[in-house]
Amino acid sequence: MLSATYQPEDDINFDLRHYLIIFRRFWVLFVVIPLIGAAAGGIVSVRTPRVYQSQTSLLLRPAQPIASNDPTAAQLTSDQIASTYATLITEPPLLQQVISELHLPISPAEFSRDITVTAIPNTTILSVAAQADRPTLAADIANRLVGDFVVSMRQIQSSSSSSKTGPPGDDFVVVAKAVPVSTPVSPSLKKDVAVGFAGGLGLTVLVVITITLLDQTVKKDEDLFRRTGLLALAHIPKVPAARGPLGELAALTADSASAEAYRVLRTNLIFSGVDHPAHGILVTSASPHEGKSRTAANLAISLSQAGYRTLLVDADLRRPSQHLTFRRIRNLGLTNLILEDVPEDRLFSSDVNVPNLWLLASGPIPPNPAELLGSTKMQALLHHLSTSYDFLVVDSPPVTAVTDPCILATRLDGCLLVVEQRHSKYADVARAKAQIERVGGHVIGVVLNKIQGPEATYYGYGYSSDDQSEKYEKPPTRTRPGASGHDAALSTNVDE
């Protein structure tokens, strides 16, 4: 049964569902782009030249005690001593000397980036590391740099008893010489692949956020109501047409999700007009290819299944399609009835598959559809048909394409806008509503069509599993204006 009010999910569950929908929509990007990033990181890692590192340890033995009882003596800590010598090791003159001895094709500034001197805390030990493109060269650089440094310091100490560069008499001991290491320190294949994957994932998130913010297509009932003021009367799942001559008529399958969705539409449509019943219903859309003709056909079937005498009129005189859906002839129909050049008993086709359903095809396509639909004869005809049937369902062209639906909206009780999820834009829906209301028409609500994913089973309005609409009070039975029609050969002159 129809719920009294719209009941949204709680905020947490709604956000989680929203993010799940976004992930399901863009899951290919979330998989492909990070994998491309990981592959790119791996390629860069493989093609990057290998860098090897070797290190040696140098012990400093200060001649002056670190802690002294003499209050006039300068108090030096082990960290201060080690930091002082660490700075001296990377001085340009010493680096230039090593460059000359090893014939390295780089400048002292470039060479300093390959040297790392670390003072081990709370000790007087220096760790000197050198990097090069060959393991042996890295070891030679580290050993030569430390060796030249020791020689240089000893020469300075021997030349002057009061050295300005450090405590006199300091001694240096190489604890461990550098040896070639065959494992490169960079690049790291695992690290580069991980960085590429993380970068690809971050790029994907940025792209998805940008697309989501720029995407102005209809996705949720809440946003649709907030931006257009229209309520979704039903959610029709996206289901391919079944095989067979009546494959578009999903409402004929009683136990399908699509049939249930059209029953929801029927029930909500009936209850939306309790005070002002809508016997004449215009079915249109904002833009082409949103499923308005299929919706009109299945709505008419659903109404007739509930016992309502229903007439489906194909008033799309631009690209008629109901004759194809029901396997009827097109060249006998509405335009013949307006021009009164064919007797009525030849124009109305009774559907043998659905009792209480009649079809009025488009008839020959006129050169001036808008003028024909706006004529006084058409106005009188629609009034006559709406009083002769319980429900009159009229299929028309899209609103933003031609003026035909705006003309028909003034002659009928209400209009249903068919909106395709993730295809129709909010601006187009709002513009279609404004155009209809500007001429005095009434938009009853929206049919959200072609729903995919978890939203296909989520309805803005509840509907019980037992179809109760047959028990509702029906409009008074009216006299049909002509004899039943007959099935004929399918016309080959088709526009859609």
Q: Is the pLDDT of residue 82 over 60?
A: yes
Mean pLDDT confidence for 149-172: 70
Q: What is the pLDDT of residues 280-337, one digit of tens each?
A: 999 999 999 999 999 999 999 999 999 999 999 999 999 999 999 998 888 889 999 9
How many structural domains comprise the chain? 3
Q: Give me the sign of the Cα torsion angle 80, 82, 86, 91.
A: positive
Q: Does one domain contain both 225 and 332?
A: yes
CATH number of domain containing 375: 3.40.50.300
Residues 410 and 334 in one domain: yes
Mean pLDDT across 50-65: 84
The pairing of beta strand 52-61 with beta strand 125-132: antiparallel
3-state secondary structure 167-222: CCCCEEEEEECCCCCCCCCECCHHHHHHHHHHHHHHHHHHHHHHHHHHCCECCCHH
If asked whether residues 56 and 18 sit together in one domain, one would say no
State the CB neighbour count (10 A cutoff) for residue 198: 14
Lowest mean pLDDT: which of 77-81, 221-225, 415-419? 77-81
Taking the C-alpha atoms of residue 462 and residue 60, their distance in angstroms, rounded to an integer, is: 83
Q: Which residue has the higher pLDDT, 14 or 450?
A: 450
Whether pLDDT at 42 is above 70: yes
Q: To the nearest whole percent, how much of the chain has pLDDT over 70? A: 81
Residue 478 lies in a domain: no
Q: Is residue 73's pLDDT more than 60?
A: no
Asked if residue 480 is part of any domain, the answer here is no
pTM: 0.61
Instruction: Based on the fold, state whether residues 124 and 197 are members of the same structural domain.
Output: no
Could you report the per-residue pLDDT of 353-408, keeping only the tens digit for each?
789 999 999 999 999 999 999 999 999 999 999 889 999 999 999 998 899 999 99
Range of weakest confidence among 49-63, 121-135, 156-170 = 156-170
- The pLDDT tens digits of the residues spanning 120-143 come to 888 888 999 999 999 999 999 999
Give the mean model confidence (pLDDT) for residues 16-25: 77
Residue 125 and residue 233 in one domain: no
Which residues 6+ apart lie within 8 Å of 233 measured at CB?
264, 265, 268, 269, 272, 416, 444, 445, 446, 447, 461
User: Higher-confidence residue: 147 or 452?
Assistant: 147
| 29 and 56 share one domain | no
| DSSP 3-state of 55 | strand
- Please report the pLDDT score of residue 475 as a whole number: 44
- CB of 38 within 8 A of CB of 201? no
**pLDDT of res. 169:** 66
Expressed as residue numbers, the domain containing 27 is: 11-48+188-213
CA–CA dist 482, 413 (Å, integer) = 23
- 492: in domain: no
Closest C-alpha to 447, from 418, 478, 423, 483 = 418
Q: Cα separation of 42 and 329, whole Å?
A: 64
Instruction: Note the pLDDT of residue 265.
Output: 95
* Position 2 in a domain: no
In this structure, the answer to whether residues 157 and 298 fall within a common structural domain is no
Which DSSP state fits 401?
A: T
**Predicted local confidence at residue 479, as pLDDT:** 44
Instruction: Quote the pLDDT of residue 10.
Output: 45
Q: Is the pLDDT of residue 94 over 50?
A: yes
Mean pLDDT value across the chain: 82
Residues 30 and 87 in one domain: no
Same domain (yes/no): 251, 152 = no
What pLDDT score does 26 carry? 87
Asked if 257 and 329 sit in the same domain, the reply is: yes
Q: Are residues 151 and 226 in the same domain?
A: no
Asked if the peptide bond before residue 34 counts as cis, ω within 30 degrees of 0, the response is no
Give the per-residue pLDDT at 222. Answer: 85
> With contact defined as beta carbons under 8 Å apart, do 424 and 454 qualify?
no
Eight-class DSSP state of 344: G
Whether residue 228 lies inside any domain: the answer is yes
Asked whether residue 487 is assigned to any structural domain, the reply reads no
CA distance 310 to 391: 5
pLDDT value at position 64? Answer: 62
Which carries the bigger pLDDT value, residue 400 or residue 486? Answer: 400
What CATH number corresponds to the domain at position 101? 3.30.70.1130
251: in domain: yes
Q: Are residues 95 and 198 in the same domain?
A: no
pLDDT tens column, 172-219: 888 889 999 998 988 889 999 999 999 999 999 999 888 878 888 888
Torsion angles phi and psi, residue 59, rounded to 5: -95, 130
Is residue 479, in this structure, part of any structural domain at all? no
CA nearest neighbour of 249 among 305, 202, 290? 305
Say if residue 449's pLDDT is above 70: yes
* Beta-strand runs (E) in 322-434: 348-350, 357-360, 391-395, 414-420
